[in-house]
Chain A
Amino acid sequence: MSLRVTPSMMHMQLSRNLSRNLKQMDSLQDQLTTGRKINKPSDDPVGITYSLRYRTELASNGQYQKNADSAHSWLDFNDTVIGQAGDVMQRIKELTTQGSNGTNPQYALDNINNEISQLKSQLLDIANSKLNGKYVFNGQTFDKMPYDESVAGFDAKQVVTDTGDVSYAVGVGVTLPVNLSGNEVFGKPADTDNVFAVLDKIISNFASGNQSGAAAQLTNLETRMNKILNARSEVGAKVNRVELMQNRLDDLEINLTDMQSKTEDADFDKLLIDSKINENIYQASLSVGAKVITPTLVDFLH
């Protein structure tokens, strides 16, 4: 059967095509204005699941980066104060050596003692170092001053610091303890080379003019200095680890951003071309439309 064509069929077809072209334009405009090819789940149901995963991973990655920075600053601070402690120890060793040899009159020993007492106070200050309001050498009880001289019957060598770890999460399932306890650095109460015990002995020996007694403590001083050096290198190793983590996190961020962009981002060049083509098609369909509403036989009959 030959198909009759009536004007209303042509009109229907025309309006259908116009609306299809418009819809296509709308979707292209949407992608152009948001810059994304996934604007709702149905645009790409598989892509959206990846897109959501990348977004979540980027968020947690950003958090790990922040945490790693915090860990880094804690470790840097530790490094600084342990370095200071090392310098103080060096000076104490010089003074003790100086006081132990030859013929120092008592007043010279008293002067040395004065300085050593000063240095002891300085070590106590270092042991009470605070970062962001936290006492760094008191484990998880960082809200309390570890070597608190205001406590009745305070004796620095008897202080027990908390051994809890201050841990930072710097990756998926990676937590890094960043602190050293005061006892690790300055010695436990029972240690023969507890720095405060050694200092007390040196001071009392010098006070009574017993130079050889003071000299006997030099070995203890040296072992303690080694321990402080070790603590410092341990901090250095942790700093390296954190920096490695930071590099990894930065790389991961680049990768994730890249994958997210591949999944979500619209291809601008292609979009612009498509949208131009679509505009032309729409223009064409409009002008065809104007022709479809043609004159009929009516216009020609007189």
Chain B
Amino acid sequence: MTSTFHSIETAKRSLFAQQTAINTVGHNISNANTAGYSRQRVSLTASRPMEAYGINRSTAAGQLGTGVEATAITRVRTSFLDDQFRNQNKYVGAWSVQSDTLSKLESIVNEPSDSGIRSVMDKFYQAWSDLSKDPENVTGRKIVRETALALTDSFNQTSKQLSDLKDDLTSSIDVKVTQANTIMSTIASLNTEIRRIEGLGDDANDLQDQRDLLTDQLSQIVNVEVSKAPEGYTITMGDKTLVQGDESFDLTREGLESSFGDGQLSSGEVFGMIQSRDVYVNDYMKQLDTLANTLANGDIEVTVPAGSVLPGTTTPLTVDTKMTVKGINGLHKLGYTMDNPATGGSDFFTFSSGTGITAATFQLNPDIASDTNKIATSMRTTSSGGASTVVQGNNSLALLMSQLGDVKFSFDQSATGNGISSSTISDFYSSMVGALGVQSEEAQRQYENSVAQADQVEGSRQSVSGVSLDEEMSDLVKYQHAYSAAARFMTTFDQLLEKLINGTGVVGR
């Protein structure tokens, strides 16, 4: 014997359950465009049926249904895809920064162009060649001075741009560290919150979505491993723990730099920044320093023509003599300036500070900059009565200088790391530019690939968790009808009881 009002109860449960479902549909629709949102589903289960009443066993039909219950609201999500996505996302972070830095480097190098270092270099040699035609000419000397200044300027400027780029990268690392720390502490507090709610037996769907979204963001900044523990997400970077339960362990720039060194930090934006700064930009700076220093002081072999008088001697050479000198400076010292009595040339290039020539300190000797007569062009003197005078029309040195573009310089291999030990200055420079091109091309390709792969995983995730409005609308229709039918059922039963209550016991009325 069931209760009279049993069916009202059943109808009521149905109304509530459909309402919950409709509400969840509404929630899904509202969040159709929310980042990181996964669609939610209400699990409807038939509620516990009733045994027929009786001391032993009633003969009434048993297991009377009692309607429906919404037992849980869960999000539809696959954690395997999350892991895949985070694994890809770190590469997106790393390569996007690297390809970005390398393309900045390309614009700093500014080749092919008519204003890059290469072209200034050509103009420098051309100025010497023009001077060799009129060695006694003041205009020619001034032009050599101007092109030399342009050459040192472009080295200085490029070097300055590279240091600026390094500083930018360092401050970007700082920004990223702050961002990561904020994300990590938020994840830690979400861990606590989720644990509290799930302890009560509910699913903290929306909080979990938030936590996953933050973890996704973190995975772009550094490489992370996520494992699920009872106290929430445990996030590690290599063997460093970043988040465990309600605790997060702050990152620092220095810490990350040492993690980069020992390989714990292997990907992500910060990795890309440190790699760009300490490998690409640094390497390029080193090569530029080597280039400047070699141009000034690298060993070259020159042929001093017969008739030249070497500094410190008075007898002209009788035959062409091969000599090894130290770069432009060494060559310049073999000649004589316009001053009389004959004075040997000084260093052509010097450094403005520090202990040697780097791209940043590369400069034209200030004495030459202020007095173009200090540019040596002649290699011949005549001596009469113990005093030697310069033959100003001799252009041997200017000729040798103008031909340096085709002379092989010895490079200090340990400083460059690009494997060139002896080549012309312009070959060294083009190999440097070529290598940069290769690196940049590679980084762009890697970036595009990693984005394509991350997008592909994101697509799969969307396919599982994304909200489809069509789907939600058809669900809405379904639940609305169910709701209406439950209401109809209630009405039916209401009329039934009406009959029973008001329509019975009125026989013979």
**A and B are interacting partners:** yes
Residues of chain A having any CB pair with chain B under 8 Å: 3-9, 12-13, 16, 36, 38-46, 48-49, 51-53, 55-56, 59-60, 62-63, 66-67, 70, 132, 134, 139-143, 162, 164-169, 172-173, 175, 264, 296-298, 301
Given known contacts A48-B112, A296-B473, is B126 in contact with A166 (CB within 8 Å)? no
Question: What is the chain B residue whose CB lies nearest that of A263?
Answer: B112
Question: What are the residues of chain B within 8 A of A36 when measuring CB–CB?
Answer: 112
Alpha-carbon separation in the docked complex, A268 to B455 (Å): 35
CB of A40 within 8 A of CB of B107, answer yes
B26 CB within 8 Å of chain A:
no
A3 touches which of B103, B434, B437, B463 (Cβ 8 Å):
B463
CB distance A40 to B434 under 8 Å? no
Chain B residues contacting A141 (CB-CB under 8 Å) are 391-393
In contact, B112 and A166 (Cβ under 8 angstroms):
no
Prevailing SS type, chain B contact patch = helix
By beta carbon, the residue of chain B nearest A13 is B459
Known contacts being A41-B109, A140-B391, A175-B399, is A52 close to B118, with CB within 8 Å? Answer: yes
Counting CB contacts under 8 A, is B466 at the interface? Answer: yes
Residue from A44, A140, A173, A297 having most chain B Cβ neighbours under 10 A: A140
Which of chain B's residues 405-455 have a Cβ closer than 8 Å to chain A?
A: 405-406, 426-427, 429-431, 433-438, 440-441, 444, 455
Q: Is B488 an interface residue (CB 8 A)?
A: no
Q: Hey, which chain B residues are within 8 Å of A39, CB to CB? A: 112
In the bound complex, how far is the Cα of B393 from the Cα of A33, in angstroms?
A: 48
- B463 close to A46 (CB less than 8 A): no
Q: Is B403 an interface residue (CB 8 A)?
A: yes
Let me know if B43 is at the binding interface, CB within 8 A. Answer: no
Given known pairs A172-B406, A297-B474, the reply for A167 and B399 (CB within 8 Å) is yes
Which residues of chain A are near B435, meaning CB under 8 Å?
45
Query: Taking the nearest CB of chain B, how far is it from the CB of A136, in angstroms?
Result: 11
Set of chain B residues within 8 Å of A5, measured between Cβ atoms: 463, 468
- Bound-state CA distance A38–B396 (Å) is 39
Bound-complex Cα distance A75 to B298 (A): 38
**Contact among B103, B434, B477 for A48, CB-based, below 8 A:** B434
Q: 1/0 per position for B454-488, CB-CB distance to A under 8 A? A: 01001100111011111101100100000000000
B102 on the interface (CB 8 Å rule)? yes
Find out whether the CB atom of A60 lies under 8 angstroms from the CB atom of B393.
no
Residues on B with beta carbons closer than 8 Å to the beta carbon of A175? 399
- Interface band, chain B: 35 or more
* CB-defined contacts of B122 to chain A, threshold 8 Å: 55-56, 59-60
Question: Is the pair B431, A49 in contact by a Cβ cutoff of 8 Å?
Answer: yes
Question: What are 22 sample pairs from A and B whose C-beta atoms fall under 8 A apart?
Answer: A8-B466, A12-B462, A38-B112, A41-B437, A42-B103, A45-B434, A46-B434, A48-B437, A52-B118, A52-B429, A55-B119, A56-B118, A56-B121, A56-B405, A59-B122, A166-B395, A169-B129, A172-B403, A264-B112, A297-B469, A297-B470, A301-B473
Q: Which residues of B contact A (CB under 8 A)?
A: 32-33, 102-103, 106-107, 109, 111-112, 118-119, 121-123, 125-126, 129-130, 132-134, 136, 307, 380, 391-396, 399, 402-403, 405-406, 426-427, 429-431, 433-438, 440-441, 444, 455, 458-459, 462-464, 466-471, 473-474, 477
CB distance from B266 to the nearest CB of A (A): 24
B112 near A67: Cβ-Cβ < 8 Å: no
Question: Given the interface contacts A48-B112, A167-B395, A173-B403, does A67 sit within 8 Å of B307 by beta carbon?
Answer: no
Task: Out of B132, B394, B396, name the residue touching A168 (CB < 8 Å).
Answer: B132
Query: How far is B403's CA from A103's CA once the two chains are assembled, in angstroms?
Result: 65
Least distance between B140 CB and chain A CB atoms (Å)? 12
**Complex formed: what's the CA distance from A13 to B393 in Å?**
73
Let me know if B392 and A143 touch, CB within 8 A. Answer: yes
